[in-house]
Chains A and B, each alone.
Chain A
Amino acid sequence: MAIISLYTGLYGKDLVKYEMNSVDFTSGVWQNPETQPDNFDYQLTGAYKSINAFTSGENWCFGITIPLRGTTYIQDTGTEICPLLPYNCDESQYESGAFSLAAQRPADFNIYFNDYCTPKSLGNRNWYLPCQNSEFTENQIFIPKKGYMTSHFYTFGEGYFSLKHLWTFTNSMSKNINDRAVPFYSTVKDSTVYNTSELTGSYRMGGIGGDSIFPASFVFRNNGAADQQPVEWRGDVTVPAEGIAQSRVKFKFTAFTLPASLTVKFGASSDGSFGGRNVYQSNLTMPNEAINAIGVTILTYSPDGILQKAVIIGTTLDFWQPKNQIGNWGASSGIEGGDGTFTAHSDNTTAQDVLNKIEEKKFLRKNWISNYSNYGIKLYTGFFITDLFRELFTSDFINRFLQSVYNPLSSILSLHQMPEYYNGIKLIPNDINSPVNSTIHLSGYNTSVSAVQTVNSLNSFSAGRVDLSSLYFGSFPDYEPYTQITLNLPFCGKISVAPSLCMGGYIDIIYTIDALNGGVCVNIVTTDRNDVSYPAYSVSGNCAYSLPVIGQQGGDYLKGFINTGISAAATMITKSPLTYLGTVKSAFDTVSTSHYTQSTGSVSGNISLLDDWTVWCEISRPEWSNPEKYSQLIGIPSDVSGTINSNDADFSAFTGFLKCKRFEAQGISGATDKEKDEIEKLLTSGIYI
């Protein structure tokens, strides 16, 4: 057994250590709702407390001791708080992402992390995460999901730190039915109680070690009251043809009242014997008194969230969509509104591990991001531009002579400025692998201009998440063409996002900036109400303010020098050496003022820099006129079959206003044809029940 230690506290002060529940790391519970990793996720749950009050703006940091397999060397720099590097890890096994904690420090949390360092052994190590400096006000700490500690952005004095770790920090990883933890191998999602006669739970089917088989049968067990025999229902479930590892099942229990508790078992055989496979079992406790349920609806999903089949025990059910707004929405009292809140939600977006989400969806491979250093390209900052130009155009004879035959200006690829921070996070961090006191090295020419070498690869970060999980109307006006969503993306412009892709879900915005030339690419990842994520949009732009790269025509410069020098040389014989030098020096001075024969760069003022630098989302919604007795007197579109006493969707009776598309009265005994026609006419024009 191993021990997990959690360190927390204020940056620069003594850290407080908390011992967490130890977990046997030879096994674990898979809790990743997106993909099933090749290796285990180690789950650790517990309550987190800190004796230090945490307020916005304060530095906050924590670390964790992760017991890992093996005994590899641990790097510990002593008292200085800095991250530790893993050794001998296979970099390609890791992914990274980032997300932010909620504004409120969570009271409890789960920590999940993958041990991808196989077969290498790493041993125990301490991980520390120094947090933001005083500029940071959003209580954000970027803790990527998985991965090893790659090159981190670290600048002395700036206080910014971003690490790519093995673990994920969140304050809630699963939803519980009735706040009851489900001891289940699948993640409970989307638990919604529609009314007192319904309870819906859903499970992502999954397991450990590849045993993620969608069950062919199920058993529902009504545990009933203490003095009652449990009642079981058995039924068959259509197994999706492929991708069963991530299949999802929803259960909709329909009853006049629900049983007190229900045990759900899954098996692989229709006779309920489960064929020797693992049985996933959960106890669901319903909020109502225990009587027999009258039916269960099972909905099965393919891995990409497409509803496969709906099956109900005892009766057949037409195919219906999940989250159908069926219920006592708008009773005769005239109270309108479904699950829409009719309130505009507050600005509570948080950045999460969107990079990892993109990674998992195979839309943006980390390997595609190029590192210019692989090609010998360096990027410097932190220098005085006047120093650089003065250096390049020095009046020193020797250097200027060298410049005439080997023009260092030609090695300048870019010279620009660009925005420095996003939400307090430095966009282009310095490269800690470079010497602290560096000078600018041009190709074949070393200047004495002090500078700091920066990371020159593409840098991606989350610009935020728009939370649309709370619907405004909870009905059709939430979508196009009624509702419109626009994103303002600095340096790229504005784009419209289709509500159907994100309403009830999220919009994640990921910026990727090329430090070398200021190129900007923005990926928009939408997640809809069924948790289907999609990289819906991408736009590009540029955030750099460039100076022209003066690529001098070396030949012209040299020519000018030679011509001047020859005339000077002609008098050389008759001149003293000092006079000669002075003459040639004069030639250099003359040439130096006229060697700008051609600019090969472009004057780029970059008008986009004058645009709004704020990433924001505009949601334009209609306002409807909502009479008090609207549903009572005119009803709401239904398209549900059945009878007045029992509809086919939830078996409740129609009440209030009812207008039928079709009503079949010909089977009424004792009524004349004329009366039957009259009945059908009335039902199709609308009656009150």
Chain B
Amino acid sequence: MIEIQVGSTPDEKIKLEKTFNIRTTINGEIFTPCSVESPQLIVSSDSVSNSDTYFYVPYFNRYYFLQSKDESGDITTLTLICDVLMSFKNDIRNCPLIAERSSNVFNGYLTDGEREFKNYSLNQYIKLGEFTGMQNWLVGV
């Protein structure tokens, strides 16, 4: 019997650190054999609701998305898939990287192929000066 925190998250899957709205903590059994990346957990049907889409399993120390749910009478089998971002968020923050695109750390002088330009251009005219008048005749001797 293992402890399972059930709830939901409003955040997108690709968000590193998610808000976990825990509804409750339930108990369940691990369906063996299983992988830690994608475990199957057996819980009582009345312990989970349709809104429970996000889980934390302390035994695995991982967060999971709900991949599928199979109900069979009083038993519900939850097939989960690991949210690797949330599960290893602290380690991920310290891993070496080279950023390709970023919202806040960037170089505006690198050409951005994602930019869309309009077909027309903005034209600016700056007048610097003007020649005027006509010099009287000049004769060079």
Contact = CB atoms under 8 A, between A and B. Distances in A.
Contacts of A424: 132
Contact of A637 (B95, B110, B120): B110
A103 interface: no
A162 B139 CA distance: 24
B29 to A, nearest CB: 22
A647 interface: yes
Contacts of A328: 104
Interface in A298-318: none
Interface stretch (A24-32, A182-190, A610-618): A610-618
A465 interface: yes
Nearest to B12: A688
A641 B16 CA distance: 18
Interface residues of B, number: 63
A632 B102 CA distance: 8
B74 interface: no
B141 A417 contact: no
A343 to B, nearest CB: 10
Interface string B14-45: 11110000000000000000001100000000
A557 B17 CA distance: 103
Nearest to A490: B131
A662 interface: yes
* Number of chain A interface residues as a range: 35 or more
A482 to B, nearest CB: 8
B1 interface: no
Interface string A482-515: 1000000010000000000000000001000001
A428 B131 CA distance: 12
Given A616-B125, A655-B104, A671-B88, A418 B138 contact: yes
B127 A654 contact: no
Nearest to A411: B141
Given A623-B120, A645-B94, A440 B139 contact: yes
Interface stretch (A259-267, A282-290, A359-367, A375-383): A375-383
Contact of A658 (B101, B129, B141): B101
A200 interface: no
Given A619-B126, A688-B16, A637 B135 contact: no
A417 B128 contact: no
A615 B126 CA distance: 9
B88 A654 contact: no
A415 B111 CA distance: 55
A675 interface: yes
A670 interface: yes
Interface string A413-425: 1111111111110
A620 interface: yes
B103 A635 contact: yes
Given A423-B130, A615-B129, A656-B103, A325 B94 contact: no
B92 A668 contact: yes
A285 to B, nearest CB: 28
A637 B103 CA distance: 9
B106 A415 contact: no
B136 interface: yes
Interface in A302-342: 324-332, 338
A372 B115 CA distance: 58
A385 to B, nearest CB: 5
Contact of B136 (A382, A412, A688): A382
B82 A658 contact: no
B92 A683 contact: yes
Interface of B: 11-12, 14-17, 36-37, 61, 82, 84-85, 87-88, 91-112, 114-118, 120-141
19 contacts: A325-B106, A349-B128, A379-B139, A379-B141, A383-B136, A383-B137, A413-B140, A419-B133, A419-B134, A420-B133, A466-B126, A466-B128, A476-B109, A636-B101, A662-B98, A670-B88, A675-B84, A675-B87, A684-B100
Given A473-B108, A660-B100, A679-B85, 19 more contacts: A326-B106, A329-B108, A347-B126, A383-B136, A417-B134, A417-B137, A427-B131, A428-B138, A451-B139, A515-B138, A636-B102, A636-B106, A638-B99, A638-B105, A655-B103, A663-B96, A682-B85, A688-B12, A689-B16
